[in-house]
Structure 1
Amino acid sequence: MSPRLLIIGGTDEARRLAAAVHGRMRTVSSLAGRVNDPRLPEGEVRIGGFGGPGGLADWLRAERVDVVVDASHPFAARMTASAVAAAERAGVPLLVLRRPGWTAAPGDDWRWTATLEEAAALLPAVGSRAFLTTGRRSLAVFAHLSGVWFLARSVDTPEPPFPPRMEVLLSRGPYTREGELALMRGHRIDVVVTKDSGGAMTSAKLAAARELSLPVVVVRRPPPPPGVRTASTVGEAVAWLDAILVP
């Protein structure tokens, strides 16, 4: 019988990994269920939580899962920690698949912060018309900033609390440099706020900000748990799976 693989996360990397091993491994992709109408990967899909590390460990045992790849969002630190703890309890090998973060290029004006709260504290000194691309669940952190106007882009409609001066743009990537330039010019954006999510799907805003000489407030991503095996590409993840699962 082919090996059983649990892929955690609804990222582009998670979908590409499921497609890469489809037909050779029995995959189950676990989605948190926080996005309406998600892009579904190939293979079996499970939506919803497991009930913490203990619940996930029980599920791994009950479903006879052979290996886990955590391909959740780079900022889903709680999910990654839960997956690591559950895999250890169940005695199942685990790999954390994380795409590399972004790297500043010549002409970039990036202001790094350790947290969203630090980004919110810094923002009024940097600009007054912000393009906010940190996700709908982060808007509460900026809700007290009455002196800043926000263009908040998210896949789904955000819930309050959120800033009093804000326009919501519901959209899903990938985006183009030309489209981001038009968006920033049309809304007279003077600062961009983002997380260091990495990847090409949403990096066009950084190229547009560079061309417009706009500052970018960038929130650093949390590091993976210490001692955990990691991969930065789908190809690396497939090679690791083949090495431990294929005779």
Structure 2
Amino acid sequence: MRLLILGGTSEASALVKALDARIDAILSLAGRTSAPKREPVRTRIGGFGGSEGLAAWITDHRIEAVIDATHPFAARISGNAALACQRAAVPLLAVRRPPWERCEGDRWTEVDTMAEAALTLGPAPRRVFLTIGRLEVGAFSVAPQHDYVVRAIEPIGDALSVPRLTEIAARGPFDEAAEAAFLAERRIEVLVSKNSGGGATYGKIAAARAAGLPVIILRPPAKPDVASVPDAAGALAWLSTRLDPCRSS
């Protein structure tokens, strides 16, 4: 089977490491980071040119199945994948981890956009920890009264124009103990995060809960209605039935 995996997540990484030897896989990454983790399959970097470009690429490379294991907030590529696979008549499976659920003690304010999150911080100066990646930090330029701590894999450059900014380059995962120490050391007063689900970045949510800190959290975007599983194990089971159809009977 020739398989295209749209990746960039821990689920995609787990999947490529456990693939059946009969699968000829290509992992596609968006190219958001300059030094992505090396994976044991062929890897391509960059976009396809929308849904039409992806459909043409699938056809040209004789792809027989596609797995969308992109980030929960990568709505555009998920939409393009659904349209492209429909156009190319190729089966598509999405790996969609469940979002985090509010627990007792969580002080969440849920928002739909980063612009809304910036306004939700309020007018009084606060020490804010942004864990939203580098591409959307610019939304907080409208609230320069706050003292920002930004953690991202890549430098944010001049994306966030505010007087008080601390930039920290780091790649997760971070466990709850490490996050608790970070929040205390940096004197964080409010956390801004995306509801990405999964365990790799949940430590900051649990640490904020334990510290009684408020969290402004972005709701996941809507995704296309396609066949989906919650994890890499589900994707492997789906691939297994396609390799050995008799197993599903």
TM-score after normalising by structure 1: 0.95
The answer for the alignment partner of 1:203 in structure 2 is 202
User: Which AA in structure 1 matches 2:199?
Assistant: A
Per the TM alignment, residue 103 of structure 1 is displaced from its structure 2 partner at its CA by 1.4
Contact 1:128 1:191 in 2 (8 A): yes
The corresponding residue for 2:28 is: 30
User: Does 2:56 align with 1:85?
Assistant: no
Quote the Cα distance in structure 2 between the aligned partners of 1:125 and 1:218: 18
1:192 aligns with 2:191: yes
Distance 1:195 1:102 in 2: 10
Partner Cα separation in structure 1 for residue 243 and residue 123 of structure 2: 53
Change (3 A) 1:242 1:71: same
State the distance in 2 between where 1:77 and 1:126 align: 33
Distance 1:18 1:178 in 2: 29
Cα contact 1:127–1:191 (8 A) shared by 2:
no
- Asked whether the 8 Å contact 2:30–2:47 carries over to 1, the reply is yes
Where does structure 2 lack aligned partners over 5 or more consecutive residues? none
1:217 counterpart residue number:
216
Q: Tell me how far 1:183 sits from its aligned partner.
A: 1.2
Question: Percent of pairs identical after alignment?
Answer: 41
RMSD: 1.4
1:54-107 CA distances to partner (integer Å, 9 max, x unpaired)? 111111111110000000100000011111111111110001111111112211
Contact 2:125 2:147 survives alignment (8 Å): no
Matched with 1:147 is 145
- The residue number in structure 2 matching 1:170 is 169
Code of the aligned partner of 1:188:
R
Tell me the alpha carbon deviations over residues 151-193 of structure 1, each in whole angstroms, 9 at most, x when there is no partner: 0110000132304121111001010222111211111111000
> Deviation at 1:126?
8.3
Of 157, 176, 179 in structure 2, the residue corresponding to residue 159 of structure 1 is 157
Q: Match of 1:72?
A: 70
Contact 2:190–2:216, Cα closer than 8 Å, also in 1: yes
The correspondence for 2:115, drawn from 114, 117, 123, is 117
Distance 1:134 1:126, change over 3 A: farther
Letter of the 1:67 counterpart: A
Q: Which runs of 4+ in 1 moved over 4 A?
A: none
| Counterpart AA for 2:178 | G
**CA gap 1:190/1:24 in 2 versus in 1, 3 angstroms:** same
* 2:127 matched residue in structure 1: 129
What corresponds to 2:5 in structure 1? Answer: 7
Task: Give the letter for the 1:103 counterpart.
Answer: E
Cα distance in 1 between the residues matched to 2:187 and 2:36: 31
Aligned counterpart, 2:50? 52
For residues 188-242 of structure 1, give each alpha carbon's deviation from its aligned partner in whole angstroms, at most 9, with x where no partner exists: 111000000111111111111111100000100012213x111111111111122
Secondary structure (helix, strand or coil) at the match of 1:124 reads coil
Segments of 5+ residues of structure 1 without an aligned counterpart are none
Alignment partner of 2:196: what SS? coil
Instruction: Tell me by how many angstroms 1:125 deviates.
Output: 5.8
